[in-house]
């Protein structure tokens, strides 16, 4: 990475690295690392570190810091409530917004194939990079610095947003919420279909469609399509899209009914 890029990233992160190698590793995708190694195929000792191990460590640090903060902040919450709130704060759906706000995609080191396929905007890559960057901060500056980063960027802004909007617990199980919604509307239950599976065995990306039929049970009226690093994640995001579609339809029908009633009067 160029010096000005590292400086810009450090400003965004609010942290200055003493060891530049650790942040460069955190931003190095496996595609870039394997590509560099291939260029030195004759040298079996030539190895390039990618961010997969750092991602693993960062995930653990994130869970620890988030759990500790929720434990102290909400002493009246039961275990189930704490678990549900933590699941939201460390979810791919929330972390992608943090990664995008920090513009991590701009700093990723990708192989040519991943670059061409739009890797800089892929949710899985950005979330993995965010967790790897957190691990880099932890290794370079210690737990307290990492805790400050997590609270400032991941936990506090989201809790404040939720409080402004009424303090409601977030919906994290969109499949269950969708099941309840369609039951209330008298619709058939949605079908979840795996339509695509890409990537190496250890790092697959799953594309799932959630298909919702109308009352006749014959034609599909709504389709939610989402990608995720697991089938479960993709299914949840697809279910979320269907919930949004149903809510939009309900609002439109309410407005139409109100307009018709007004015209009759």
Helix (H) or strand (E) holding 208: strand 205-213
Cα–Cα–Cα angle for 255, 246, 263, nearest 5°? Answer: 15
Backbone angles phi, psi at 186, to 5 degrees: 75, 30
Task: Please tell me whether residues 159 and 33 are part of one structural domain.
Answer: yes
Task: Please tell me whether residues 143 and 223 are part of one structural domain.
Answer: no
Choose one of 164, 192, 224: the last residue of a domain: 164
Q: What value does the mean pLDDT take over residues 10-24?
A: 94
Question: Residue 217's domain is classified under what CATH number?
Answer: 3.30.160.20
Task: Determine the pLDDT at residue 254.
Answer: 53
Dig out the tokens for 125 from the structure: 């890559």
- Confidence band (pLDDT; 50, 70, 90) for 44? low
Task: Please tell me whether residues 160 and 249 are part of one structural domain.
Answer: no
Give the integer Cα–Cα distance in Å for 28 and 65: 25
Choose one of 164, 188, 219: the last residue of a domain: 164
Residue 122 is given by DSSP the state -
Task: Please tell me whether residues 142 and 25 are part of one structural domain.
Answer: yes
Which of 46-50, 200-204, 209-213 has the highest mean predicted lDDT (pLDDT)?
A: 209-213
Q: Are 212 and 187 in contact (CB under 8 A)?
A: yes
Q: Which residues pair with 25 in a beta bridge?
A: none
Q: Are 51 and 27 in contact (CB under 8 A)?
A: yes
Contacts (Cβ under 8 Å, ≥6 apart) of 5:
107
Task: Please tell me whether residues 50 and 71 are part of one structural domain.
Answer: yes
Give the integer Cα–Cα distance in Å for 185 and 246: 10
Quick: pLDDT tens for 147-187.
Answer: 999 999 999 999 888 877 655 555 557 888 788 888 888 88
Q: Are 6 and 27 in contact (CB under 8 A)?
A: no
Task: Please tell me whether residues 148 and 61 are part of one structural domain.
Answer: yes
Contacts (Cβ under 8 Å, ≥6 apart) of 7:
none
What total number of domains does the chain contain?
Answer: 2
Q: What's the burial of 227, exposed, middle or buried (CB within 10 Å: 0-12/13-18/19+)?
A: middle
Task: Please tell me whether residues 153 and 178 are part of one structural domain.
Answer: no
Task: Please tell me whether residues 137 and 7 are part of one structural domain.
Answer: yes
Task: Please tell me whether residues 108 and 203 are part of one structural domain.
Answer: no
Report the mean per-residue pLDDT for the chain.
85
Domain of residue 197 covers 174-264
- pLDDT exceeds 80 at position 20: yes
Give the integer Cα–Cα distance in Å for 206 and 201: 11
Would you please indicate which residues are annotated as catalytic (active-site) residues? 59, 131
* DSSP-based three-state secondary structure for 41: coil
Answer yes or no: is 169 within a domain.
no
Torsion sign, CA atoms 111, 113, 119, 123: negative
Give the integer Cα–Cα distance in Å for 172 and 236: 8
Residue 213 is given by DSSP the state E
Count of other CB atoms within 10 angstroms of residue 169: 11
Count of other CB atoms within 10 angstroms of residue 101: 11
Task: Please tell me whether residues 27 and 154 are part of one structural domain.
Answer: yes
Choose one of 164, 198, 232: the last residue of a domain: 164
Dig out the tokens for 210 from the structure: 């959630």
Answer yes or no: is 157 within a domain.
yes
Nearest to 120 by CA among 131, 130, 107, 132: 107
Give the integer Cα–Cα distance in Å for 210 and 260: 33
pTM for the model stands at 0.64
Task: Determine the pLDDT at residue 148.
Answer: 97
Q: What value does the mean pLDDT take over residues 195-199?
A: 92
């Amino acid at each position: 990475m160029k010096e000005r890029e590292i400086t810009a990233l450090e400003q965004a992160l609010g942290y200055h690295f003493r060891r530049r190698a650790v942040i460069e590793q955190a931003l190095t995708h496996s595609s870039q690392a394997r590509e560099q190694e291939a260029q030195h195929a004759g040298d079996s000792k030539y190895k390039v570190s990618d961010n997969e191990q750092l991602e693993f460590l960062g995930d653990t640090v994130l869970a620890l810091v988030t759990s500790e903060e929720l434990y102290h902040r909400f002493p009246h919450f039961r275990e189930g409530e704490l678990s549900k709130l933590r699941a939201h704060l460390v979810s791919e759906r929330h972390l992608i917004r943090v990664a995008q706000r920090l513009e991590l995609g701009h700093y990723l080191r990708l192989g040519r194939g991943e670059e061409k396929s739009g890797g800089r905007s892929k949710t899985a890559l950005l979330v993995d990079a965010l967790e790897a960057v957190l691990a880099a901060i932890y290794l370079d500056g210690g737990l307290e610095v990492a805790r400050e980063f997590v609270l400032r960027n991941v936990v506090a802004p989201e809790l404040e947003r939720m409080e402004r909007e009424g303090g409601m617990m977030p919906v994290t199980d969109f499949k269950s919420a969708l099941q309840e919604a369609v039951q209330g509307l008298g619709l058939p239950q949605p079908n979840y279909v795996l339509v695509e599976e890409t990537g190496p065995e250890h790092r697959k990306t799953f594309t799932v469609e959630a298909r919702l039929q109308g009352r006749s049970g014959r034609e599909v009226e709504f389709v939610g399509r989402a990608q995720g690093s697991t089938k479960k994640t993709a299914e949840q995001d697809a279910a979320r899209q269907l919930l949004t579609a149903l809510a939009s339809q309900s609002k439109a029908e309410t407005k139409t009914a109100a307009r018709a009633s007004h015209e009759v009067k």
